[in-house]
Structure 1
Amino acid sequence: MIGATRVAMVAARAQPEIGGIESHVAEVATRLVREGVDVEVLTTDRTGRLPRVERVDGYVVRRFRAFPRRRDWYLSPGLFWALLRSRHDLVHVQGIHTLVPPVAMLAALLRRVPYLLTFHSGGSSSAFRERARGPQFRLLAPLLRRADALVGVSGYEARRFQQFVGPSIRVRLIRNGGGLPRLVSAIAPDPDLVLSVGRLERYKGHHRVVEALPHLLAARPDARVEILGSGPYEDELLALAERLGVADRVSVRFVPPVERAAMARSLAGAGVVALLSDYEAHPVAVMEALVAGRPVVVSRTSGLTELADLGWARGVEPDADPAVVAAALEEQLSTPVRPSPVELPTWESCVESLLEVYREVLPAAVRPSEAS
């Protein structure tokens, strides 16, 4: 190290809360610490039940109360004041949707500290929120243009936000990685198990996998669906399975993201993994499934289309009927399309690219060295 590089990584939520951004922050922060970067994760806690300060895998997590408790606005005055008082060399904002990103960017501007933002854009089950995204991002554009770097996790996301910041601002592409414990190679996949992954909300598309199951059973009489996640849509999914007469073949299970071995076993044991979401930038769960060697079916929407176009997954149209979805699942079970492991980004390659950005935007005295 040339200097002690102190990075404040700011996100609305962090593990043990679940989600793609939460997983990204944990994977990246751990590896940055190994490269000699002093990482502090600043995040929020609406419940007041999580530790205010804890050390996790070499980095420090500081949590600040956020309001209102039962809404996902994440207004956190404490986080704002902590950033104003901090002595970090760089602020790395993770995510774009809540009130945390503008607060973090404003604090960095006031402190005259370099900042970058990784978008991690996502979908919503609320039609109102989806319609409001454009005005929201246009309001944030002045803060985005002042950033020292902007990062999209997929080509789709980079292009999407390029239109809000203008052609003179470069939005870089740094994909999410994938990584699971090595034990996955010893697990034999179940050729009749369809694993649908993601938080249990309607926009994640689990219902489309359940609707496809009766059609899949015609080709695979022993097929079953396991939905891996938790959330408010669980009762509706189970009721749908009951109406379709497949309740005995649909189950819901939650694996905490910090339990890496259990997650590895779940993904590696599936015959095929599905994510038929309305919107994903570059889903960590899919990358982990691909690293585990499992074939994947995705909806041809947002960043998921990119995975299908790269030949990493088989895609189905967002309006495809259940029989078409079932046919895609059967094809991936019988004659899978999947990438060579050497094609896939890793968390190590993700961190290597981030370090290049850090070196570019930081003064030489605090820049991570090439040898670190």
Structure 2
Amino acid sequence: MHILMVAARCYPFTGGIETHIHEVGPRLVERGHVVDVLTTDPSGELPVEEYLRGIRVQRVPAWPRERDLYVSPGIYTAIRRGVWDLIHFQGYNTFVAPIGLLAAIRGDLPFVLTFHSGGHSSPLRNAVRGTQHALLRPLVARAARLIGVSEFEASFFSARMGVPRERFVVIPNGAAMPAASAGVRVDPHLIISSGRLERYKGHHRAIAAMPELIHRVPDARLHVVGSGPYEGELRRLVATLGLEERVTIATIPGSERQKMADLLASAGLFVLFSEYEAHPVAVMEALSLRRPVLVNDTSGLGELASKGLCRAIARDANPRVLAAAMAEELEAQRVVPDWALPDWDDCAQALSEVYDDVYNDILTSRSRERVPLGGILSWPPETKARRR
């Protein structure tokens, strides 16, 4: 099948959706699919078109450059001009989704949608989420399948958008990371908090807990991994608390998977105090390397804790409580089991099966229509020729 994935961002950017596409795309190609990615480039600095690991990536402009709204009329134009067997929308929370969904519906193109929902640092954006969901519902309801990355996400959007739960399929993100390099050892005093540098991700809570944690565990150190608009605030907090020698903030490019694996494998504890995560790739990566994990008891994080994969702490815990929990985890030096976690091969296979099911449904539906003698069933209609 010829699949188009549509997302606001993809490689070389880092993040949950970016990692998802980077991992499942090539695996779908290995399974015989042709995969294109349509995405945006607000900077205007990336190639308009390139091939990455067997995938054709097309980028169109988006505005504004410094905000995560991704208003991109080029998404609509590209979808209307192209021919694919199926469109897979990756993520719903920018303008890319409604623009692309409208183009698919007007072009009578079948599509599926994975929500990949996340939090946001803007109180205004959070306040209008209900309205956003209501406006998206007529478009989302036209999807051939809806995909949640966790049971929490599927149930949440089923209720929020009034779409029957049976319309949803749950396909978790993968957890695969390269094995740690020879010689990498666990540092029992090192804590890692990884994810985009946004306030809702909760890195500031880990930093705020450090003075109390150092009182309990004198050699404790925190390494925050990521990039994003909240970096300046985090660095100012580090300076205000006098933690320059104990807290480091740096990013690791998404292409340097081995470097990230080695860092995670060396951690005595991984923490993520995010306000909202559907199925966090960062946590799954830490678990795949058998590192103990401490999270907020909320959303998909709480679901992971309920399965015994990590420990959860109340989302309103103050710095003293957080420090006590981190100290307990560091001192326990827990041996994390080799969990049977979902991997990216599982994810790609499940997606391939969804694509096949949708395509077979289309063929079955069209076979009921009267076909002229000598007519050939095809999707999309061949009159929609691709325009380069």
| Bin for the TM-score computed over the shorter chain | over 0.9
1:257 to 243, 254, 261: 254
Instruction: Summarize the Cα distance change of 1:247–1:53 in structure 2 as closer, same or farther, 3 Å threshold.
Output: same
1:121 to 111, 114, 117: 117
> In structure 2, what is the Cα distance between the partners aligned to 1:181 and 1:353?
22
Q: Which residue of 2 aligns with 1:351?
A: 348
2:62 to 60, 63, 66: 66
> In structure 2, what is the Cα distance between the partners aligned to 1:212 and 1:181?
31
Structure 2: which 5+ residue stretches go unaligned? 364-376, 380-388
| Aligned residues of 2:154 and 2:170 also touching (Cα < 8 A) | yes
Q: Which residue of 2 aligns with 1:41?
A: 37
> In structure 2, what is the Cα distance between the partners aligned to 1:184 and 1:109?
48
> In structure 2, what is the Cα distance between the partners aligned to 1:293 and 1:184?
15
Q: Which residue of 2 aligns with 1:157?
A: 153
Local SS of the residue matching 2:245:
helix
> In structure 1, what is the Cα distance between the partners aligned to 2:10 and 2:338?
28
Bigger Rg over Cα = 2
Aligned pair 1:310/2:307, yes or no?
A: yes
Q: Percent identical across equivalent pairs?
A: 48
Aligned pair 1:98/2:98, yes or no?
A: no
> In structure 1, what is the Cα distance between the partners aligned to 2:89 and 2:335?
32
Q: Which residue of 2 aligns with 1:206?
A: 203
- Tell me the TM-score normalized by structure 2: 0.89
Q: Which residue of 2 aligns with 1:196?
A: 193
| Aligned residues of 1:184 and 1:292 also touching (Cα < 8 A) | no
**RMSD between superposed Cα atoms in Å:** 1.8
Deviation per residue, 1:80-118 (Å, 9 max, x gap) = 111111110000000010111112222222222210000
Displacement after TM superposition at 1:268 (Å):
1.0
> In structure 1, what is the Cα distance between the partners aligned to 2:198 and 2:173?
22
Instruction: Summarize the Cα distance change of 1:192–1:139 in structure 2 as closer, same or farther, 3 Å threshold.
Output: same
Local SS of the residue matching 1:333:
helix
1:341 to 329, 338, 341: 338
| Aligned residues of 2:180 and 2:265 also touching (Cα < 8 A) | no
Deviation per residue, 1:35-70 (Å, 9 max, x gap) = 111000000101110001111111111001112223
Aligned pair 1:239/2:236, yes or no?
A: yes
| Aligned residues of 1:229 and 1:254 also touching (Cα < 8 A) | yes
Q: Which residue of 1 aligns with 2:83?
A: 87
> In structure 1, what is the Cα distance between the partners aligned to 2:328 and 2:173?
26
Q: Which residue of 1 aligns with 2:20?
A: 24
> In structure 2, what is the Cα distance between the partners aligned to 1:343 and 1:162?
28
Displacement after TM superposition at 1:230 (Å):
1.1
Instruction: Summarize the Cα distance change of 1:196–1:263 in structure 2 as closer, same or farther, 3 Å threshold.
Output: same
Amino acid at match of 1:91: I
Q: How many residues align?
A: 363
Instruction: Summarize the Cα distance change of 1:34–1:186 in structure 2 as closer, same or farther, 3 Å threshold.
Output: farther
Instruction: Summarize the Cα distance change of 1:72–1:243 in structure 2 as closer, same or farther, 3 Å threshold.
Output: closer
> In structure 2, what is the Cα distance between the partners aligned to 1:184 and 1:290?
17
Aligned pair 1:295/2:292, yes or no?
A: yes
Q: Which residue of 2 aligns with 1:131?
A: 127
Deviation per residue, 1:290-322 (Å, 9 max, x gap) = 111111111111111111111111111111111
> In structure 2, what is the Cα distance between the partners aligned to 1:184 and 1:165?
48
Q: Which residue of 1 aligns with 2:2?
A: 6
| Aligned residues of 1:311 and 1:339 also touching (Cα < 8 A) | no
| Aligned residues of 1:8 and 1:91 also touching (Cα < 8 A) | yes
Q: Which residue of 2 aligns with 1:147?
A: 143
Deviation per residue, 1:192-247 (Å, 9 max, x gap) = 10111111111111111111112222332111111101122222222222332322
Q: Which residue of 2 aligns with 1:370?
A: none
Amino acid at match of 2:202: G
Amino acid at match of 2:154: A
Larger deviation, residues 67-76 vs 10-19:
67-76
Q: Which residue of 2 aligns with 1:229?
A: 226
- Tell me the TM-score normalized by structure 1: 0.93
Q: Which residue of 1 aligns with 2:366?
A: none
Q: Which residue of 2 aligns with 1:248?
A: 245
Local SS of the residue matching 2:267:
coil
Larger deviation, residues 204-213 vs 103-112:
103-112
> In structure 2, what is the Cα distance between the partners aligned to 1:60 and 1:315?
40
Larger deviation, residues 185-194 vs 331-340:
331-340
Displacement after TM superposition at 1:187 (Å):
2.1
Q: Which residue of 1 aligns with 2:382?
A: none
Displacement after TM superposition at 1:168 (Å):
6.3
> In structure 2, what is the Cα distance between the partners aligned to 1:48 and 1:231?
18
> In structure 2, what is the Cα distance between the partners aligned to 1:6 and 1:186?
44
1:282 to 279, 294, 310: 279
> In structure 2, what is the Cα distance between the partners aligned to 1:328 and 1:34?
44
> In structure 1, what is the Cα distance between the partners aligned to 2:107 and 2:325?
52
